[in-house]
A and B are shown apart, each in its own frame.
Chain A
């Protein structure tokens, strides 16, 4: 069964600190993995996307890694800011359907305190 599991479910950190969010997936065949940021009451916005051959991708203070062998990904946030408070969703796309099927994790709810 194609699944995307994220951990932790929620995380509280102080402003300025770093954190790492985890994503494990069983989606096959694999096309790409994306991290989305979803602010409360808003739609998800894409942060990074990685294909099978990419190990790391950065977007400002966000750095995503991918290990396609172990089917794991992480999102590292450096020097957190209050505006980083949001849900971070790991999304995996399969290569097996014309729909371009996306599999969503439940997200990690990050709260940054001043």
Chain B
């Protein structure tokens, strides 16, 4: 079982609200990732980080932003939620030196924007 945590697990919120999805890992991993996954579809990378103060956008354009002030913490923020943001958000992490690229996933946050 991977030591990576996400909160909240489920969130239902109204349009226009600001939200922050939390992700924390206790494995000391350098690299962290945020993925978006719709039902029956593949995971899409929306943000990643190589380490503290490093953040990059992924393949799928997203209106969300991320920050990496501490190694173990990689929160994702939506300034103004919209129904199109309804999805499952998965956080993952891995060791920089791991040549197998093994990513460990959190349990996910299921976001519904009304």
Give me the interface of A with B, judged by CB distance under 8 Å. 4, 9, 31-32, 34, 41-46, 49, 89, 93, 99-100, 102, 104-107, 109
- 9 A-B residue pairs with Cβ-Cβ distance under 8 Å, sorted by A, are A34-B102, A41-B107, A42-B107, A42-B108, A45-B2, A93-B101, A102-B45, A104-B42, A104-B43
What's the minimum C-beta distance from B5 to chain A, rounded to whole angstroms?
10
Q: Bound state CA distance, A104 and B92, in angstroms?
A: 14
Whether A109 pairs with B40 at a CB distance below 8 angstroms is yes
B30 to chain A, nearest CB (A): 11
Closest A-chain residue to B94, C-beta based? A100
**B contact residues vs A (CB 8 Å cutoff):** 2, 4, 6, 9, 31, 40-43, 45, 48, 90-92, 94, 100-103, 105-108, 110
- Tell whether A43 pairs with B108 under 8 Å between CB atoms, given A31-B101, A102-B101, A102-B103: yes
**Cβ contacts under 8 Å, B90 to chain A:** 43-44
CB-CB under 8 A from A105, the residues of chain B are 42
A99 vs B45: C-alpha distance when bound (angstroms): 12
Whether the pair B100, A32 counts as a contact (CB closer than 8 A) is yes
Main secondary structure of the interface of B (DSSP, over half): loop
Query: CA of A50 to CA of B79 in the docked complex: distance in angstroms?
Result: 41
Residue of A nearest to B59 (CB): A101
Distance of B11 from chain A, by nearest CB (Å): 13
Which of B31, B45, B102, B106 is A43 in contact with, Cβ under 8 Å? B106
| Residue in B closest to A106 when the chains form the complex, CB atoms | B42
Write out the residue numbers on chain A whose beta carbons fall within 8 Å of the beta carbon of B41.
Answer: 106
Q: Which residues of B contact A32 (CB under 8 A)?
A: 100-101
Q: Which 6 A-B pairs have the closest CB atoms?
A: A43-B105, A100-B101, A104-B42, A93-B101, A104-B43, A106-B42
Beyond A46-B102, A49-B102, A93-B100, list 18 extra A-B contacts (CB 8 Å).
A4-B42, A41-B108, A42-B108, A43-B2, A43-B4, A43-B105, A43-B107, A43-B108, A44-B43, A44-B90, A44-B105, A45-B2, A93-B101, A102-B45, A102-B101, A106-B41, A106-B42, A107-B40
A41-B8 Cα distance, complex, nearest whole Å: 13
